[in-house]
Amino acid sequence: MNELKRKTENGSVEAEAEAVSSEQKAGEDSGLGLGVLFFIGAFAVCFLSGWLLFPSLLYSKKEQPLNFNHALHVDEMGGCDSCHYFRDDGSFAGIPTTESCMECHESQLGDTEDEAIFMKEYVEKGKEVPWLIYSEQPDCVFFSHAAHVIAAGMDCVSCHGHIGTSEKLRPYEENRLTGYSRDIWGKNIWGIKKNPWDRMKMDDCADCHERETGSKGACFQCHK
């Protein structure tokens, strides 16, 4: 309640003094109606923009450097673990490096335009493809694939959804403020979650842990 605010409040009080006296002359109820009208109008505008406009402003849409056809590769190579494998120290290799892709893609195999980009931009130049990873957790999170896939025997779909059968990579939505992928906070702004892979926030992990192991676990179980 600093001094400035106090002053404006007093300022408006003087204006109100004249208004009250003049208004008494023009009758009581008409002013109220207009105020309510404005109230409803402003409420509607803000409410709708909050629920519809705001999410699109908050999340930026980015395209992947090139499209990757999971379905085709799964047919060719077998399961997910042909490219996303466990190293022998139990750590998870995650997205394959250009080098491991080159085991098959020494030269252009198919005729798709995306593969041409891959060969020209990344294989020849020996660069890594800057994939935008949908399920990327922030730096403070330690996620052990070994604990979940090997020890708990979970399948990939339960967290990553049906990306394995997808032919096109959907655009990557990123929260402009936090830098998180939208898959983490959740696609639906209302926070309603149909499948487990629609959202992977801390609470979602906690719920599953609570169900499966009886407790949310110590902090350092998932943090680093």
x/- letters, 93..122, toward other proteins (CB under 8 A):
xx----------------------------
Tell me if 56 contacts other proteins by CB under 8 A.
no
Stretch that binds other proteins, among 49-57, 61-69, 112-120, 164-172 (CB under 8 A): 49-57
**Alpha helices for the chain (secondary structure H):** 3-26, 30-48, 54-58, 70-77, 98-101, 113-117, 145, 157-160, 182-185, 202-213
Question: Residues 141 to 160: which contact other proteins by CB under 8 A?
Answer: 142, 144, 146-147, 150-151
Tell me if 87 contacts other proteins by CB under 8 A.
yes
Task: Count interface residues toward other proteins (CB under 8 A).
Answer: 74
Tell me if 213 contacts other proteins by CB under 8 A.
yes
x/- letters, 1..40, toward other proteins (CB under 8 A):
xxx--x---x-xxxxxx-xx--x------xxxxxxxxxxx
Query: Closer CB to other proteins, residue 116 or residue 202?
Result: 202
Query: Closer CB to other proteins, residue 100 or residue 112?
Result: 100
Cα dihedral 9, 11, 14, 15, rounded to 10, equals -100
The contacts of residue 64 (CB under 8 Å, 6+ apart) are: 131, 132, 169, 171, 172
